[in-house]
Chains A and B, each alone.
Chain A
Amino acid sequence: MGRYVARRLLQMIPVFIGATLLIFLMVNVMGDPVAGLCGDRQCDPATAAQLRREFGLDKPVWEQYLTYMGNVFTGDFGTAFNGQPVTELMGSAFPVTIRLTIVAVLFEIVIGITLGVLTGLRRGRPVDTSVLLVTLVVISVPTFVTGLLLQLLLGVEWGWIRPSVSPEARFGELIVPGLVLASVSLAYVTRLTRTSLAENKRSDYVRTATAKGLPRHRVVTRHLLRNSLIPVVTFIGTDVGALMGGAIVTERIFNIHGVGYQLYQGILRQNTQTVVGFVTVLVLVFLLANLLVDLLYAVLDPRIRYA
C-alpha cells in the first residue's frame, strides 16, 4: 500500500509539470497583458516597460516559466495586477469554493445515492420512472438556467433566500448554489447507482446473503451497496476537481467570490500569475482526489488490493 501511494505521488510530478507548462503557454499566447492595464488609452512606453520588467514579461517565455516554477516551490505564486499576492487571492477564494464543493458533493452523496438505491431496488415501478424522468430533465437543462430560475423564484419572488451570497459565504447561504452546482452530477450519480445496483442485485453473493436469512437492510447496505458504489465513488472523486474548477457559472450567478470568479477575472485581465497559480492548485486537487478514489477501492472491495 505504502509503495503504491509513493509511486502514485511520483507519477504526479510529470503530470503537474506538463499541466502547468501548458497553461502557462496558453495564457502567454493570448498576448500582452500590460496593454490592457491602462484602459482605453495607451500606457506611456516608460511605464509599460517598467511594468513588464516588474512582472518579468520582458524575458523569454521559457525563462519566465522556469522562474515561475522556481518561485512556486518556495510558495511564492507571484503578484496579481492589482498588487495583491496571488497566495492572498487563493487564501480568500479557495475556502469559499471548498465550502461550495462540500455542499455540492454532500448533495450528490445524500440525494443522489438515496434516489439511486430507491430506484435501483424498485426497477420499473412508478418511483423509478418518475425519478428517471426528473433526472433527464435536470441533465438536459443548462446549469445557468436552473441557477437563474431558482435565484429569481426563491430570492426575488418568494424571498426565501438572498439572491447573492455575502463575502463570508457561510454554509447556510451556499445551500441553493451548491444544489445548482451539484444538480447535473447528482442526476448522473442517481443513474449510476441505480444501474450498478440493479446489476448486482442478481449476483450470487447477494442471493447467498439473502438465503442465509440476513435482514434485508443488511443485505442492501453491507453486501449490495458496498460493491455497487465503486463506479459511483470513481465518478464523485473526479467530480470534486470538476466542481471546483467548473463553478464559474454558478459563482457568477450567485456572486460567490471563489476560484471560478478569480480565474475568470484572471483570464479577462490576462493575468498569467493568477491563472497559472489557481490552475496549478486545481491540478493538485484533481490528482489528490483521484488518488483518494483509488485508495477507497480497497476499502470498498477487499479483492482490489495494491501491493
Chain B
Amino acid sequence: MTVQANDPAISVASEKPASLRPTLEWIARRAEPIVIGLAAIVIGLALFSLFILAIGKSPAMLFQLMYTGGFGSWFSVQNSLSRAAPLLLTALCVALPARLGLVIIGGEGAVVLGGVAAAAMALPLVGSAPVFLTFILMAIAAMLVGGVWIGLAGFLRHYRGVNETISSLLLSYIAIALMNQFVEGPLRDPASLNKPSTKPLPQDYMLGHIPGMDVHWGLVIGVVACIVSWVLIEVTSYGFAARIAGGNVRAAQIQGLPVGRLIAGFTAIAGSFAGLAGMIEVTAVQGSANASLAAGYGYTGILVAFLARHNPLAIIPVAILLGGINAAGGLIQRRMGLPDATVLVLQGTLFIVILFCETFYGRFKIFNPDLWKRSE
C-alpha cells in the first residue's frame, strides 16, 4: 500500500544518499502510529498522575506497584498473560468490523452467550463423549452463537440500515438477560446457592495450562486468532475487499464487491471470536457458566482494539499491556487503599487521550516523506 518514491528527481533533490532514502521513508511511515501512540500513553499517564496527586496519593508509588503487579515477577507476568487471553479475542471482535468502518461495541454479549452455549453443549456430553471431541463441540457452539449474535448487528446494518453501534449494545444487554434466564432457570445447578450457575465441569474437561507455565491455553488460542485475522485482512482478497468497503462503500459497490456479504461475514467472524472468549472463560477460569462471565472483557476489548488501531498483530502487545494493568489492580487496591475502580479511571483516561491523538495523524512533516523535499 505504501508509495515507493523511486522517482529520480526526488532522489537527486535529496541530500541524503539515494540508497538510504527508501529505508528512511519506510521507517518514517511506520514510525507515525508508534510514536503518536506512545506519546498518547505518556500524556494519558501524566493526566492520571495529576488525578492521583489531586486525591493525595503518590503517582510514583502507583506506577511502581503497577509495574510490580503486572510485569515485575514471573508470577505477575503469567497473571497478566492469563488476563490478556480473553482481551485478544474481544479486541478482534471490535477490530475486524472496524476495517469495514463499523463500530461494534457489544462484544460482551457474545462473550456471555458463548460461555453459556459452551456450558450447555458440554454438560450432557460429560462422561459419555471423549474430552477432545467435547472441546471441539464446545468451541463450535460458542463460536456459532457469538457469530450469529454480532453477525446480526452487521446484517441489520447493511440490510436494514440499523446503526450497528447501538444495535450491538442492545443485543449485549439482551444477551445478559438471556444468560441470567438460562443460569437461573433450565441450566441452574441446584447446588449453587448464592451465585446461580450451571453444573461445574469436571477437572479433566477444563482447559489446561501451557506446559511449563501457569497460563491457560486461551492465550495460545487468542494469539493464533490474531495471526489468522491479520492474514485474513492483510493477505487475502476478502480482507482487501473489506478494506475497500470500509474506505468507501459506494466505490466498493460500483466495483461489484459483495458488500453485504462482507459485512455479515466479517461481523460473524468477529462475534465468533468473542464467543470463543466466553468458552475459554468457562473452561479455563470459571468452570461453569455464571454471571461472572459479564466481567467487562467486551468493553476492555474496545479499548485494546482502538489502542492497536485495529491492527490484529498490534492487538497482541496491547492486550498484554492492558492485562497487566488489570492484574495490578488488586495490588494497588491493597497497598494504597484505592478503590478497585482506579483501573477503570486509568483505562478511561488512556482511551480518551488515545482517541484524541488521532487528530495528530498526518500533521507532522517528519512522518510524511512526500513533504520532506519542500522542507529542505
Q: Do A and B come from one complex?
A: no
